[in-house]
Amino acid sequence: MAAVGVRRPARADARRNFDALIAAARAAFASHGTNASLEDIARQAGVGIGTLYRNFPTRRDLFEAVYVSEIDQLAVVAAEVGSLPPWEALMAWLDQFVQYAITKRAIIEALNRESELFASCRKTMYEAGEPLFARAQAAGVVRSDANFDDLLRMVSGLMSAAFVDDGQRKRVLALALDGLRA
């Protein structure tokens, strides 16, 4: 995927620690924003702060690694759902996109939107989701007057709103996505 200042380790135990740190950071940033405690992230991951800094020398490295992991997951999901019926495949991918949008919202101010990393991630995201959208449109289940960028902006905009709970977020998203149907 995109070039980032840190790499996933080769050793199995080190990979587990790296993945645990990414998962803990994702949750911490979603809950507490970019000022989340690195010590708490390390504790939630079950590692020491030294392990966090060995993997992510700077806070920015951790932000970028979390962001890249979200993009990588979008590509994985796109590949996994490709055999589903067109609407189901697109909705399954959008479920993952919603998680990405929530994480992005939490750390966007810490990311350089003009960076090569950001541009590469955007390209990867479009390469993952756009074929699912085009297939759904070709099958006649998505409006012909919409495009993939419209969909991403709509969902991203919705995810930037504050909701009472996850149930309300899901209902509002479902209402909006009903408008996408052909």
Give the pLDDT mean for 27-45.
91
The pLDDT-based confidence of 34 (bands split at 50, 70, 90) is confident
pLDDT digits (tens, 9 = 90+) for 107-162: 777 776 777 888 888 899 999 999 999 999 999 999 999 999 999 999 999 988 88
Neighbours of 48 (CB within 10 A): 13
Strand partners, 142: 181
CATH of domain 12-178: 1.10.357.10
Q: What is the pTM of this model?
A: 0.83
Say which amino acid occupies 116.
E
Q: Give the H/E segment covering residue 166.
A: helix 166-178
Burial of 20 (0-12, 13-18, 19+ CB in 10 A): middle
Structure tokens at 117: 């990393």
Q: How far is Cα 85 from Cα 138, in angstroms, rounded to an integer?
A: 12
pLDDT digits (tens, 9 = 90+) for 54-95: 999 999 899 889 999 989 999 999 999 999 999 999 999 999
Per-domain residue ranges for the chain?
12-178
Q: How far is Cα 43 from Cα 146, in angstroms, rounded to an integer?
A: 45
Structure tokens at 23: 């998962």
pLDDT at 4: 53
pLDDT at 3: 44
The pLDDT-based confidence of 5 (bands split at 50, 70, 90) is low
